[in-house]
């Protein structure tokens, strides 16, 4: 961490930014480069978990029929995911998934938000490990729900055999298998990861680009300022992406669960 | 430091390959989060929502019951009022009928009384008249006889003749008066 700060201060930041910029040195042991147990990224994950647990436990310690402001806020987050995602996508049966969806939504939203919060300024989700884990949970969840609801054979028949003429099935079944059982976890994980990775990369390009131009030639200072103004504008864009991707991840998981529960294909 | 290390042939990362250490850390952290929130927070929110729904529905039910009771009372009062009105009308009609009956009775009695008084008056009048006529007749007869006796002396004192003469005279008078 200090290493990077020193580099910025010395005006020696390498430009253009590279993939290696995403892999910050370890905190414990200090400065090591090939241990990943306790880095800024994992620390942020723990902070996110801690903040969410403290927030929800504190605001829901003594729930009341007429809610306080804090309780109302916590309830409206849950109510939003419960009514606008779980119930909208799955119907009344979706209520029992609402707690998981809300946890997922809050976790993705907060870890995404670290991308633009000062001093954090990188999202853990720009490391594919975290989106991948969440995607695997979604994958296991919807398959488990489907198998438990329909039974093994009926679930796979529902998922793999679309209502189509028999002669086109040899073509459709592999496509269905591919799209439902192979691509889904990857698309979920990569969508979130790539968005956060690209967002961080964009902010790096414009921030470091400003410094690079300034150190290359003093006459380029106005362009540097323009570059930093762009950084601010892109931060707003990044905010939109943060909220949208958290929403999309949750909605897609709900949609997969809904598909697994559906009677027809 | 980082800069130098990167220069110094550090193993390069492929961003699409997850670091297993991060998967483990992220997994544990997320499972802890799921455990706490899904066990201690969201079920209680669901309970609160349910309690709120119950409170609202209970309130509505209570209001409906109160409304129904009020409506029933209103019906009852209306029925009682209508009954009272009917009673009042009946009493008024009875009273009117009674009054009419009493009036008729009184009128009849008064008419009877007046008839009776008139009849009695007429009778008395007739009786008095008869008495007066009788007295007058006697008196007139006596006076006339006295007068005639004074005029013609004692010659006409023969009673039988005198009576017949006077009676004839008076009958003549009466028949002349009636004409």
Of the candidates A34, A53, A65, the beta carbon closest to that of B52 is on: A65
Of the candidates A3, A106, A107, the beta carbon closest to that of B1 is on: A3
In tens, the pLDDT along B29-72 reads 999 999 999 999 999 999 999 998 999 998 899 999 999 999 99
> Is the whole model's pTM more than 0.80, yes or no?
no
Q: What is the interface pTM, i.e. ipTM, of the complex?
A: 0.87
- Alpha-carbon distance of A145 to A112, in angstroms, equals 28
- Alpha-carbon distance of A8 to B113, in angstroms, equals 139
CA-based angle A158:A160:A162, to the nearest 5? 75
Strand partners, A26: A39
**What is the per-residue pLDDT for B3?**
42
Whether B160 has a pLDDT exceeding 90, the answer reads no
Question: In this complex, how many residue pairs, one in chain A and one in chain B, have their CB atoms less than 8 Å apart?
Answer: 143
Of the candidates B5, B37, B48, the beta carbon closest to that of A103 is on: B37
**What is the per-residue pLDDT for A114?**
94
Whether B100 has a pLDDT exceeding 90, the answer reads yes
In tens, the pLDDT along B6-29 reads 443 446 788 888 888 899 999 999
Question: Would the CB atoms of A19 and B12 count as touching at under 8 Å?
Answer: yes
- Alpha-carbon distance of B128 to B139, in angstroms, equals 16
Low-confidence stretches of chain A (pLDDT < 50) are 1-11
Best mutation site among B9, B19, B28, B33 for testing chain A: the one with the most A CBs within 10 Å? B33
Q: In 3-state terms, what secondary structure has residue B12? A: coil
**What is the per-residue pLDDT for B26?**
92
Tokens of residue A23, six digits: 């892999």
- Alpha-carbon distance of B31 to A193, in angstroms, equals 20
Nearest Cα residue to A98 out of A78, A113, A117: A78
Which of these ranges, A98-107, A193-202, B81-90, B161-170, has the smallest mean pLDDT? B161-170
Torsion of CA A69, A73, A76, A81, to 10 degrees: -170
What are the domain boundaries of chain A?
2-261
**What is the per-residue pLDDT for A132?**
94
Nearest Cα residue to B21 out of A42, A179, A125: A42
In tens, the pLDDT along B123-153 reads 999 998 888 888 888 888 788 777 777 777 6
Task: Give B176 or A107, the one with higher predicted confidence.
Answer: A107
């Amino acid at each position: 961490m200090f290493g990077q700060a020193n580099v910025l201060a010395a005006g020696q930041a390498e430009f253009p930014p590279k993939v290696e910029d995403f892999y910050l040195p370890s905190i414990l042991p200090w400065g090591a480069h090939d241990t990943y147990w306790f880095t800024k990224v994992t620390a942020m994950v723990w902070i996110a978990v801690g903040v969410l647990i403290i927030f929800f436990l504190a605001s829901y310690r003594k729930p009341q029929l007429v809610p306080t402001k804090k309780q109302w806020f916590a309830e409206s987050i849950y109510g939003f995911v419960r009514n606008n995602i779980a119930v909208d996508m799955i119907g009344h049966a979706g209520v029992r998934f609402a707690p998981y969806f809300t946890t997922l939504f809050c976790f993705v939203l907060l870890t995404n938000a670290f991308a633009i919060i000062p001093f954090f300024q990188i999202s853990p989700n720009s490391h594919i490990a975290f989106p991948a884990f969440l995607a695997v949970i979604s994958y296991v969840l919807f398959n488990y729900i489907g198998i438990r609801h329909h039974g093994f054979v009926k679930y796979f028949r529902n998922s793999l055999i679309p209502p189509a003429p028999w002669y086109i099935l040899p073509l459709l079944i592999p496509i269905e298998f591919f799209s439902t059982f192979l691509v889904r976890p990857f698309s979920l994980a990569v969508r979130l990861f790539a968005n956060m990775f690209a967002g961080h990369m964009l902010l790096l390009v414009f921030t470091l680009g400003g410094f690079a131009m300034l150190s290359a030639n003093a006459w380029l200072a106005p362009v540097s300022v323009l570059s930093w103004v762009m950084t601010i504008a892109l931060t707003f864009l990044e905010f939109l992406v943060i909220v949208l991707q958290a929403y999309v991840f949750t909605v897609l998981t709900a949609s997969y669960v809904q598909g697994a529960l559906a009677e027809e294909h | 430091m980082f800069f130098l290390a990167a220069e110094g042939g550090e193993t390069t990362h492929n961003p699409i390959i997850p670091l297993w250490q991060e998967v483990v850390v992220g997994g544990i952290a997320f499972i802890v989060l799921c455990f706490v929130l899904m066990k201690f927070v969201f079920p209680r929110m669901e309970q609160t929502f349910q309690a709120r729904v119950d409170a609202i529905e209970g309130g509505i039910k209570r209001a409906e019951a109160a409304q129904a009771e009020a409506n029933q009372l209103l019906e009852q009062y209306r029925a009682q009022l209508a009954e009272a009105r009917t009673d009042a009308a009946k009493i008024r009609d009875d009273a009117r009928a009674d009054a009419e009956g009493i009036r008729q009775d009184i009128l009849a009695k008064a008419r009877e009384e007046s008839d009776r008084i008139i009849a009695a008056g007429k009778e008395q009048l007739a009786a008095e008249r008869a008495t007066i006529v009788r007295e007058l007749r006697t008196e007139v007869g006596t006076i006339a006889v006295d007068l005639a006796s004074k005029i013609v002396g004692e010659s006409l004192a023969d009673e039988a003749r005198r009576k017949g003469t006077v009676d004839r005279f008076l009958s003549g008078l009466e028949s002349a008066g009636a004409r």
